[in-house]
Structure 1
């Protein structure tokens, strides 16, 4: 699998950070199922894993990473701080690192905006964690453009990534443009839950390329340079979702999928 990556701001030690456009999501997968699914994903060629404190599976993700035999520096690892942990940022990231069995994550996100206007204070602690080398890049999840601007203006540090619910039916050119204008990488989760995979637009394109509609959706994200993190616990589906490098959507096909959001 050869899927491009997007450059993020350099890590505190000056090394480059690149985020693969296709990742493997682990929401609602726990225990042995989480471990095996991550092993299957790494075997299929994924090199980007997405987890979170609230998912309760960091230990299984970390064990799968270690036992996979894939070098740590080849795998991009994301985890997230739940908003109720505002004020306990350092303890939370240290607990995540212990569970994952790594010295640093590649990306740490604020999972949702904290209540009572605490975003800026949390973000200041995120910057400190990045500067301490515990997270190579930092970002947010489920934030609006105005909330991102609040963090940038208050601290001078713009989130590298914003992970939001996204898919063809939620496509909004203004949202995509707002992120690009700010230099923020847009990352979409729940690509299939937000999409009617039986839509005639998708089935026609899938038939033309000899693939299933799920892969059309994933390829559409990648060609828009929107990071996407499909989730599955079925080995065959995990491998199939990873197989999107062998075809390219035309400009007309991209526009047709875009139109599902209107």
Structure 2
């Protein structure tokens, strides 16, 4: 396992396991157990995934010492205010059954971001979380947070994959000493990414599959990555990326695959924001 050091000195595994879109608690628990058994020590969940309980149950059953695991969760926008965030953090701790969370993120840049961040800062200073960060923040939103608050985010978790490489955003995050973490590294298989001939040709040189080439490409850019699968054989394949290194030519070849477009949705489109986050944000108006 390779680790990266965050800007507060905390060390984090560079390769982890995500549980987005695994809402069935039994399936999620088994997936996390299989991931831990396969060698993963970073587990990434969120309040909005509705499976924190399953992750917590798997942690208990795994037999792995708590200090060897790095657990991430996230605050949803319906709790994006100071008072709601304080309760949201406690809810995540209780559902996970943990005394502390290693990394806690603001899941989206909407709602009372500054108020919610103050609650995260308090939890950080109280030892309830070891590090705090954000997710889906554009560089200007990140800069606003950094200039406004006391504790600098350690991570910005954003969409990064061969079709949407986010070169400028990554450069700006890294310039702020904020580590980038990639969600959807495989773009959920879109545009036949697992059969792409360019990636396959690179993989053949190392005896690796397309997915392994993608993970290695991300890691060599200094990015933390959290692939997801409910199949143990795929988990093991994804984890088998520490015994080869892509050449500069390989990296440049993959860079040419960039379509420069999100494979999901535009986080800055007003209609999309209202459609996806509107009902959650309306909850902030409720006393």
Q: Are residue 134 (structure 1) and residue 128 (structure 2) matched?
A: yes
Is the 1:151–1:157 Cα contact (8 Å) retained in structure 2?
Answer: no
Instruction: Note the C-alpha offset of 1:226.
Output: 0.5
| 1:155-166 superposed matches below 5 A | 155-166=149-160
Task: State the partner residue of 1:252.
Answer: 249
Q: Are residue 99 (structure 1) and residue 92 (structure 2) matched?
A: no
Moved more, 23-32 or 193-202: 193-202
Task: State the partner residue of 1:60.
Answer: 54
Q: Are residue 220 (structure 1) and residue 217 (structure 2) matched?
A: yes
Equivalenced residue count is 253
Is the 1:52–1:58 Cα contact (8 Å) retained in structure 2?
Answer: yes
Q: Are residue 83 (structure 1) and residue 81 (structure 2) matched?
A: no
Aligned to 2:182, the other structure's residue is in SS state strand
| 1:100-249 superposed matches below 5 A | 100-115=96-111, 118-193=112-187, 196-249=193-246
Is the 2:39–2:239 Cα contact (8 Å) retained in structure 1?
Answer: yes
Please, which runs of 5 or more residues in structure 1 have no aligned partner? 11-15
Instruction: Note the C-alpha offset of 1:173.
Output: 2.4
Moved more, 242-251 or 172-181: 172-181
Moved over 3 A (4+): none
Q: Distance in 2 between matches of 1:6 and 1:258?
A: 23
Instruction: Note the C-alpha offset of 1:239.
Output: 1.1
Is the 1:84–1:114 Cα contact (8 Å) retained in structure 2?
Answer: no
Moved more, 187-196 or 175-184: 187-196
Q: Distance in 2 between matches of 1:155 and 1:31?
A: 36
Q: Distance in 2 between matches of 1:104 and 1:71?
A: 14
Aligned to 2:252, the other structure's residue is in SS state helix
Q: Are residue 22 (structure 1) and residue 18 (structure 2) matched?
A: no
Is the 1:53–1:81 Cα contact (8 Å) retained in structure 2?
Answer: yes
Q: Residue by residue, what CA displacement relative to the aligned partner does 1:173-219 show, whole Å, maximum 9, x if unpaired? A: 21221011100000011111266222221010111111110000011
Is the 1:215–1:244 Cα contact (8 Å) retained in structure 2?
Answer: yes
Please, which runs of 5 or more residues in structure 2 have no aligned partner? 260-287
What is the Cα-based RMSD across aligned positions, in Å?
1.2
Q: Distance in 1 between matches of 2:55 and 2:150?
A: 33
Task: State the partner residue of 2:264.
Answer: none
Instruction: Note the C-alpha offset of 1:242.
Output: 0.7
Q: Distance in 2 between matches of 1:69 and 1:90?
A: 30
Is the 1:25–1:230 Cα contact (8 Å) retained in structure 2?
Answer: yes
Task: State the partner residue of 1:13.
Answer: none
**What's the TM-score once normalised by structure 2's chain length?**
0.85
Moved more, 164-173 or 204-213: 164-173
Q: Residue by residue, what CA displacement relative to the aligned partner does 1:59-82 show, whole Å, maximum 9, x if unpaired? A: 110111111111110111000000
Of residues 15, 29, 39, the one that matches 2:33 is 39
Q: Distance in 1 between matches of 2:88 and 2:149?
A: 21
Aligned to 2:101, the other structure's residue is in SS state coil
Is the 1:23–1:228 Cα contact (8 Å) retained in structure 2?
Answer: yes
